[in-house]
C-alpha cells in the first residue's frame, strides 16, 4: 500500500518523531502494517477509515518499538470489530435445476 506524506506526518506527530531521517523506513512500516490489517480485516482506505488507520498506527508503533509479537494479543478485539465492520457478505448462487 502506498503511504502518503499526510499519513506519514500524522504518524510522526503521534509518535513525537520530528526528524526525517527515518521517513522511508516509517513508510515501509506503515505500508506493511496496512497490508497486514487488510489481510486480517478486509479492504479499507487509510485516509478515510479512522478505526483502520488507528490499528495501522498501533501496529506500526509496535513494529517501530520491536514489540510486534504482542500486537495481535493486545488488539484482538479491535481487529475483530474492524473485520466485522468491513465484512461484505457474498451472494451465494445455488443451482436449482
Is there a domain that residue 58 lies in? yes
Domain count for the chain: 1
Q: Which residue from 53, 15, 56 is spatially nearest to 36, judged by alpha carbons?
A: 56
Is there a domain that residue 96 lies in? no
Instruction: State how far the Cα of 32 lies from the Cα of 36, in Å rounded to an integer.
Output: 6
Q: Which residue from 93, 84, 52, 21 is spatially nearest to 30, judged by alpha carbons?
A: 52
What does the pLDDT look like over 2-37, one tens digit per residue? Answer: 999 999 999 999 999 999 999 999 999 999 999 999
What does the pLDDT look like over 35-80, one tens digit per residue? Answer: 999 999 999 999 999 999 999 999 999 999 999 999 999 999 999 9
Is there a domain that residue 91 lies in? no
Query: Do residues 29 and 60 lie in contact, with contact meaning Cβ atoms separated by under 8 Å?
Result: yes
Query: Do residues 26 and 13 lie in contact, with contact meaning Cβ atoms separated by under 8 Å?
Result: no
pLDDT at residue 97, rounded to an integer: 59
Instruction: State how far the Cα of 46 lies from the Cα of 55, in Å rounded to an integer.
Output: 10
Residue 74 structural domain: 5-86
Query: Do residues 31 and 12 lie in contact, with contact meaning Cβ atoms separated by under 8 Å?
Result: no
Q: What is the pTM of this model?
A: 0.88
Amino acid at each position: 500500500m502506498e503511504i502518503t506524506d499526510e499519513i506519514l506526518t500524522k504518524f510522526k506527530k503521534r509518535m513525537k518523531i520530528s526528524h526525517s531521517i527515518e521517513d522511508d523506513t516509517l513508510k515501509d512500516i506503515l505500508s506493511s502494517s496496512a497490508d497486514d490489517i487488510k489481510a486480517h480485516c478486509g479492504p479499507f482506505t487509510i485516509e478515510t477509515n479512522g478505526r483502520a488507520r488507528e490499528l495501522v498506527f498501533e501496529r506500526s508503533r509496535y513494529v517501530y518499538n520491536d514489540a510486534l509479537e504482542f500486537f495481535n494479543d493486545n488488539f484482538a478485539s479491535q481487529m475483530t470489530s474492524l473485520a466485522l465492520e468491513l465484512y461484505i457478505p457474498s451472494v451465494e448462487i445455488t443451482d436449482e435445476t
